Chains A and B, each alone.
Chain A
Amino acid sequence: MSEFRLEMRGICKSFPGVKALDHAQLRLRPGTVHALMGENGAGKSTLMKCMFGIYKMDEGELYFEGKKVEIHDPMEALHMGIAMVHQELQPIPARTVGENIFLGRYPMKKLLGLIPTVDHKKMYDDTAELLKKVRMEFNPKQMLGELSVSQMQSVEIAKAVSANCKVLILDEPTSSLTHNEVEALFRIIEDLKADGVSIVYISHKMDEILRISDEVTIMRDGQYVGTWDAKGLTTDFIITKMVGRELTNLFPKRENVPGEVVFEVDNFTSINPKSFRNASFQLRKGEILGVGGLVGAQRTELMEGIFGIRSHSSGVIKYKGKELKINRPKDAIDQGIAMLTEDRRASGILGVLSIADNISVASLKQYLDYGFCINDKKVENLVQENVAKMNIKTPSSKTQIQSLSGGNQQKVLIGRWLANDPDVLILDEPTRGIDVGAKYEIYCIIADLAKQGKSIIMISSEMAELIGMSDRVMVMCDGKVTGFIDGKDASQENIMELATKFD
């Protein structure tokens, strides 16, 4: 038997117009955590989908426990002992936890000795057992839709564990988890490792990678860069290998000078008693206001309330001393406010539509001839201008946005808002799920906008980003604003202190 649990050799995969994988490889040892790293679009997820049978590879070989195998669909992969927790969870919200875990392989019994029916008792007993194994406590009969994102993720992991998997693929498992939940996940990973499971761990978070992985494989542009023992690796080394060039600074130098107060929110309260309450803050011209807090601090809800996506019961928004009436996003946009929402897929991109349609949708009125006929040339100019300015990588302006990488999608969405030339920009997790190189580019765009005198509110769950990019940091906890910290004085400690200031 080979020393490797699973080996992928010379994997190639092309999509129309793109070579996603170019002789990529991966070798997994039993009982280890193997980090797979690379920028967005480097081919990590594609490689995993080839392993899991979602994509059919064009070239290459797959060895499982020393034997050459072919995997045609996820069912085969599961039978072989390969399980995957997807980047985007795909649960069935209106069914119970137990049914989600045992979907497709319900335990059966024979009613009256002949009619096969689902054995619900066994299913829920087994589910309870599994949840205990992943250190989670909730009712197996609870509807999945009632759980939080992190709990759903635990259910997905429990599902993978229940298949007695030998290889477990975790694709960005911590992107929506809080600190405590990440710790819980790491304990599960340690347990699985001790059971001899090989874990492929895809993440952009360096500290996590350095902490839990045993080996690191780095990919770039669909190609294999190398595999290293995780011990002794440094963040700088990994980034250099991922990007293929030296990154001297993580954040650009900011040259913006905050001016007078232009935007004020006073005593803003949600109609939902559990959401934001009595929030007040001020924003200066040319200022970057970071917004920190734990998941569930209602930061997104507050900003969506200001932008008119959510309703508020009381409170005042003022721009340059004038009170604004905002009941829906259109009102906010008409007043020169823009908001890049948190969830690109759910509320950002128009997936099947083109880059041109996506970038122009919020500013179409500017491209009209005679007041009613859209001038396609003006739209094309807008696209080309943004493609050049923000270095958007796309085959053409007619390409469907859903075929771009996350970073490029985000740039298109930023372009959508900039087309309106807003004065106040609310950015909700602007770099979530985006690779290091594109992140830096987005930071540069933000810094440049502030320099031009635009006021920016940036919600971020990444401490380094908050500290590195903000002129001031506003911290929220449990629906309330708990304090402000000057950017120069901000540290992980004082932000966390305010973020955990529960009543």
Chain B
Amino acid sequence: MKTKKSVPQRILAYIKGNPIVVILTIVCLIVGFNVENFFSWGNFNNLASNTAVRFLIALGVSGCLITKGTDLSAGRQVGLAACIAGVLLQRADYSGRMFPNMPEMNMWVVLLIVLIMGGCIGGINGLIISKLNVPPFIATLGTQTIVYGIALVFTDAQPIGGFQKSYTQFVNGKLFAVGNFPGFSFLLIIAMIFGFLFWFIYNKMTHGKYMYAIGGNEVAAEVSGVNTVASKILIYVTAGIMYALAGFLLAGKAGGATSALGNGYELEAIAGCTIGGVSTTGGIGTVSGILVGVLVFELLKIVLQFLGVNPYYNYIVQGLVIVVAVALDIRKYVAKK
């Protein structure tokens, strides 16, 4: 029954299937040709590093969404990880140091600590959800508040600065800079590595297949021998690690952190996933889709910035994009009736 489609037919089919991507590409082209510096390496690297961190968070939350769950604690976990990484990596000679007598710590050790902590918080989420059967929305709403509280207590709501040079330079580094070419931002490379890793897990490993199976029909998955409890815990642990990584990178990128960092990132990540075709009813979602979804958001922000729109309008436009994008996307499924 399969028919080979010609190239123009396939292009047309893609346009029909991904209207939001097409619209945004056109907008970018228009802005690019009218506003100076839009098409520049500086802007590209800026966009890439912004997208990279958001993409890592979205990858983390995607497993939760595909298994019909969600993770509202994502943003606050990013914030907590940023604060902890920041505090542990303050320069020894910085006057506002939180622990003045602590020796300077190695960046990699701190990264490890932060990732383990993220995994633990994710593990707690997973246990609450799969062992105590608390709906993910409520469970992570609870941990969101708790994690924010911990960040406030830990930092006493004070901003953290004065990071070790090695940390900020590492995160803001560029790779493959040759001659006039400024190179790719380090964050972009990290995001690409993790994108590939997640693609591999989702498509080539039993864990990924089980994840889609749980999203498709949890009872059937359990009956088929999938250990759904272990799978779900692992998904939330992975998510926690991804948020922690994002927090570590964000703090280093900005050169400072506060307990408010990451506020609302979970919503951006969930919206990005949804725009990218991750089904809220479970079982559907691809890494490439998630990337597109996140990119749509970041591109939009930059376009608005280049057009000189008052940043407060960003929220209104982003909200509209979420609703319109998902409404358009869902038509694909509704129209099949």
Contacts and interface: CB of A to CB of B under 8 A. Distances in A.
A360 B336 contact: no
Given A361-B209, A364-B209, A329 B224 contact: yes
B224 A352 contact: no
B337 A365 contact: no
A97 interface: no
Interface stretch (A74-82, A86-94, A260-268, A366-374): A366-374
B223 A329 contact: yes
Interface range, B side? 20 to 34
A114 interface: no
Nearest to B200: A373
Given A361-B209, A372-B205, A17 B1 contact: yes
Given A350-B216, A360-B209, A373-B204, A309 B223 contact: yes
B221 interface: yes
Interface centre among B204, B212, B215, B225 (most CB of A within 10 A): B225
Contacts of A192: none
Interface string B193-220: 0000000100111100110110111011
Contacts of A309: 222-223
A368 B206 contact: yes
A54 B200 CA distance: 40
A357 B2 CA distance: 20
A328 interface: yes
Given A54-B337, A361-B226, A348 B220 contact: yes
Interface string B224-253: 111100000000000000000000000000
A373 B206 CA distance: 8
A362 B336 CA distance: 30
A281 interface: no
Interface in A320-371: 328-330, 333-334, 339, 341, 346-353, 357, 360-362, 364-365, 368
Given A329-B223, A341-B223, A346-B219, A361 B213 contact: yes
A357 B204 CA distance: 12
B279 interface: yes
Contacts of A55: 337
B283 interface: yes
Interface residues of A, number: 35
Interface in B166-215: 200, 203-206, 209-210, 212-213, 215
B225 to A, nearest CB: 4
Contact of A16 (B200, B213, B216, B336): B336
A313 interface: no
Interface of A: 15-17, 54-55, 307, 309, 328-330, 333-334, 339, 341, 346-353, 357, 360-362, 364-365, 368, 372-374, 395-396, 416
25 contacts: A15-B336, A54-B337, A55-B337, A328-B222, A330-B227, A339-B223, A341-B223, A347-B217, A347-B220, A347-B223, A349-B216, A350-B216, A350-B217, A350-B221, A351-B216, A352-B215, A352-B284, A357-B212, A357-B216, A360-B209, A364-B206, A365-B206, A368-B206, A374-B204, A395-B1
The 8 closest A-B pairs by CB, nearest first: A350-B216, A333-B225, A362-B224, A352-B283, A347-B219, A330-B225, A395-B1, A353-B216
Given A346-B220, A368-B206, 18 more contacts: A15-B336, A54-B337, A55-B337, A309-B222, A330-B225, A330-B227, A334-B225, A347-B223, A350-B216, A351-B216, A352-B283, A357-B213, A361-B209, A361-B221, A361-B224, A364-B210, A373-B205, A396-B2
